[in-house]
A and B are shown apart, each in its own frame.
Chain A
Amino acid sequence: MPARILKPEEYYIKTEPYYQAIGDEIAVFESAYRKKLPVLLKGPTGCGKTRFMEHMAWRLGKPLITVSCHDDLTASDLVGRFLINGGETVWVDGPLARAVRAGGICYLDEIVEARKDTMVVIHPLADDRRVLPMEKVGELLQAPDDFCLTISYNPGYQSVLKDLKQSTRQRFVALEFDYPAEDVETDIIVKETGISHELAAKLIKFAHMTRNLKGNGLEEGASTRLLVHAAKLISDDVTPITACHSAIAQALTDDAEMLAAIDELSSSLF
């Protein structure tokens, strides 16, 4: 299958992405959407924030424009910039401006990673004004009713530099995500990858072991996403111990002793 080329605002999700609701997050998001409130997703990495957004985009039938923020992401990367084309300057919209124009869902992933000045750009968009100032062209972009701004943030890093400012966070409706309870997580693994229930349960147990090590040499325990990766390898006939080593242990740490210990844990289980 050749790769398809899409404009960001044409990225509609046609088939339902599998998402297992844990609480009332779907209802809350829908009502925030209706009431034109921006949403903040909190939670550790790989617990389903991005999947949730895809699911909601499908549910609401809106295009989803995702921006993964990094520490060099500036305001112009979001809003847009002038480019030069044949001696003329041409304005090109950034992803945020495109999302506003198209009335889509703009999802700024890991917002705290971005530079501080980007935060300020989203402020007028995140309160009841719902406008995006485009200083360089001297325009204000008024968001249509079906535009929605969502940001995500991982409070676990606990670094002063990577904290979300009160002036930002107090503009959002917040939804908290965490790793799902064991039985739910087992269901997710089974549904996503088709491995047996028993194997999935063992993987979950293994995940809990790595989560026990959080703060004892690991920054984070194994996320649901990593478990899905491992389970996919297992369903393709990789042995569970190898799958845990490649998909989970190596992804969690580079420390040789920690790797050895995690391998010992997985070999104890399987």
Chain B
Amino acid sequence: MQTTPVKKTPLSAAQIRQLLDDCLEVEFSFLRTDTAVTILAGLERAEQDYILTWVQRVASTNIQLAYQFITRAVNALDNMDRRMIESWALYAMDTYDQAGLHKALAIIRNLDDFVRLYHQKTAGAVYEENASVLLHFARGLSGRRLQLQESSLTYTDSETIYLPAVVSLLDTPQENFLVYKAMVAYHWAQARFGTFHLQLGSILDEQPEAENFLSLFHALDTVRLDAILQRELPGLARHMRRIKQQLQQTPSASFLQLANELVRPRSTVDDVLRLTRRYLHKLDPPSPCFYQGVLQPQEVEECRQQRLQKEKRQFRSVLRKLVEELKGLDIDEQKHHRFETRPKHRHYEMPDELELTLDGQAVPLPDNVKGLITSIVQDLGEIPAEYLQPAGAGEYQPDIFGEKNPDPDDVWKGTYHEKGAFLYKEWDFRRQHYRKNWCAVREKEIQPVYDTFIGKTLNKYQGLIKHLRKTFEAMRDEDRMLKRQVQGDDVDIDALVEALADAHDGREMSDRLFTRMHRSERNIAVIFMVDMSGSTKGWINEAERESLLLLAEALETLGDRYAIYGFSGMARKRCEIYRIKEFAQAYNEEVKARINGITPQDYTRMGFAIRHLCHILNQVDARTRILITLSDGKPDDYDNYRGEYGIEDTRRALIEARRDGIHPYCITIDKEAREYLPHMYGAAAYTVIDDVRQLPLKVADIYRRLTT
């Protein structure tokens, strides 16, 4: 059936005024909407609706912001299309989330700035959108693994390349992406081909005119690096030359003539230094070209010093580990063994493919150690002799490569910052959009509690556990013999006899005469997400702990991979995930004690927990991924996470989960849950348990039904 679009009559000024008064709470805020009302009243209905919806969406974030939005928007309607208005409003709301009302109002007020930025962004390349491609690109180039980061200055500290947020130097996004690419390649070459072999900081200290010296040095080094890029990445170098010409940044012929010796393959950064000294004051450096950024000798030096120390320590620890592994020796006997390095094979430009030998024999190296060697050689040109001495007993660090994570509790001491937290978005249903990086999520440990609870529970449910084990055992993968197959390992005698009889009678003979072994593989990973909000105190908490214990006992016989996490939180900046059992962890006394250690905490903010656990689940390679929530009530937290907002965000998180191929399921004891759970989980994906004491009995049963 086709409906012809009915052109709705425009809203009258009075109607518009009423609507605006409602959503801007004019009764209390005394905001004046006259101009806006007059202009809006003259528009078509579709336009009116569009603007008014956005006013409502902005008003759900902040009323002042909405007021400023409507007063500016009505005047700007002629020069802005809808997409632009939308991104303007969203940008302002995002800014409000991140930086507060003041900054957000500034964005609404400086519409001209936004329009300029908007055009810049549509024609330019945006760092955020290109970051992951650029990062892969940078890591594909040889040498030390680099990081990328957004910054107002373009430079590298030899480990991280800092790039601008937007590049809009050229006309199209594609061309501007090339600018990013050139920046990455150039700074990679700086780090890779020895610009930082010089202690540039101390050289500059001796110079009376450090600034001139640095800019001449930078210009000359660019000549050298350009030549290297021409040899290493000729395709990119071609584009770089072309863009340079386009922007008229090609250095003068006389400058290039004088710098000509730097183009030779064997020239090094020492040659650059020599030429800089020779031509200082005699030669004006050309203005910097589009990709060269700036040099930050101080930062490079700090970064390098830290790295040298760290890598020396790591390398010597690695050697020690190698000796132990290869020779099975104790620490004292190490002295007799000699590590040496030798070049592996001929390599372009730099001899950094080294082979490590122990007593003349090549040692196989894990990938992370190879990376370490590459990084050391990139700094020092070789592995110095003192590095080749395995670490002594006192220096030994078992966890060489693991960066130590700060204790999540520490961030609460002193001033607050979001370091070390996972940031997740949250759905704001009024805004009909996500709030970016809204929840700061931390994983925390649960203190294991060793008392009589575990023994008691296991005792109390002895019979049930036995029963569960048996049922779960029956679910394990087993080879099943499939009969009457077209192909198979063995002849199915029954089928054959029948077929022969059929043939004898003159009927058609079946070709399904074989048996085949078929393995039905259970390939399931499941996370149990346990509500640890304050409301679970008492009975519910105990029932949760009992259920988890029983379930874990049963799952051990089944062999499914499972993890258990608790969640709780207090407002968006303190979302907490408690590790009870991770996937890789074995079920042991400690895990049992941690299950026992589950204690009620604060509020029930669910969206972040679902998002974070889905993130974990997604890293597990399994055919079926399940997220089961044990909860006692609807989502609820401080800062507006009540009622509809919380339900809608949770629903959105569950939709995201399904999109990733995860099956969410909810088990709850909230009797009112039938009102909101179908909306969140869909009709079939939850169970409401009326009696808390039933929980331990039910959970394992539900799991069994869910996975067979």
Contacts and interface: CB of A to CB of B under 8 A. Distances in A.
A84 to B, nearest CB: 5
A268 B182 CA distance: 10
B133 A268 contact: no
A47 to B, nearest CB: 16
Given A213-B136, A265-B137, A76 B489 contact: yes
B181 A264 contact: yes
A217 B136 contact: yes
A269 B139 contact: no
Interface stretch (A52-60, A165-173, A255-263): A255-263
Interface stretch (A25-33, A122-130, A204-212, A229-237): A204-212
A47 B300 CA distance: 40
Contacts of B490: 76, 81-82, 136
Contacts of B345: 181-183
A182 B500 contact: no
A89 B517 CA distance: 20
B347 interface: yes
B500 A87 contact: yes
Interface in A150-188: 181-183
B142 interface: yes
A210 B12 CA distance: 64
Contacts of A215: 367
Contact of A182 (B232, B346, B491): B346
Interface string A195-222: 0000000000100111011111100000
Residue among B137, B140, B367, B517 with most chain A CB within 10 A: B140
A28 to B, nearest CB: 17
Residue among A82, A183, A266 with most chain B CB within 10 A: A82
A257 B132 contact: yes
Interface stretch (B233-241, B308-316, B599-607): B233-241
Contacts of B181: 264, 268
Nearest to A181: B345
A84 B496 contact: yes
Nearest to B184: A264
A18 interface: no
B262 interface: no
Residue among B136, B344, B496 with most chain A CB within 10 A: B136
B540 interface: no
B137 A261 contact: yes
B503 interface: yes
B356 to A, nearest CB: 16
B125 interface: no
B236 A182 contact: no
A269 B233 contact: yes
A15 B157 CA distance: 56
B489 A268 contact: no
B348 to A, nearest CB: 7
A258 B367 contact: no
**In terms of DSSP, what is the predominant structure of the interface of chain B?**
helix
Nearest to B517: A74
A1 B178 CA distance: 49
B513 interface: yes
Nearest to A81: B489
A209 B140 contact: yes
Contacts of B503: 87
A267 interface: yes
Residue among B233, B347, B513 with most chain A CB within 10 A: B233
Residue among A87, A183, A205, A265 with most chain B CB within 10 A: A265
A175 to B, nearest CB: 15
Given A84-B496, A268-B235, A213 B517 contact: no
A210 B136 CA distance: 10
B235 A269 contact: yes
A181 B346 CA distance: 8
Nearest to A84: B513
A264 B489 contact: no
Nearest to A209: B140
A199 B133 CA distance: 25
A217 B367 CA distance: 14
Given A81-B490, A260-B133, A261-B133, A269 B348 contact: no
B161 to A, nearest CB: 15
A264 B496 contact: no
Contacts of B132: 257, 261
Nearest to A202: B234
Nearest to B519: A115
B183 to A, nearest CB: 13
B503 to A, nearest CB: 6
Interface string A49-93: 000000000000000000000000011100001101001010000
Contacts of B468: none
A87 B137 CA distance: 64
Contact of A84 (B134, B135, B491, B517): B491
Nearest 8 CB-CB pairings of A with B: A261-B136, A268-B236, A209-B140, A268-B233, A76-B489, A181-B345, A260-B133, A265-B140
Interface of A: 74-76, 81-82, 84, 87, 89, 136, 181-183, 205, 208-210, 212-217, 241, 257-258, 260-262, 264-270
28 contacts: A74-B489, A74-B517, A76-B490, A81-B489, A81-B490, A82-B491, A84-B513, A87-B503, A89-B496, A181-B344, A182-B345, A183-B346, A205-B348, A212-B139, A212-B142, A213-B139, A216-B139, A257-B132, A257-B136, A261-B135, A261-B136, A262-B136, A264-B181, A265-B137, A268-B181, A268-B233, A268-B236, A270-B234
Given A81-B489, A267-B236, A268-B236, 4 more contacts: A89-B496, A182-B345, A209-B141, A261-B134
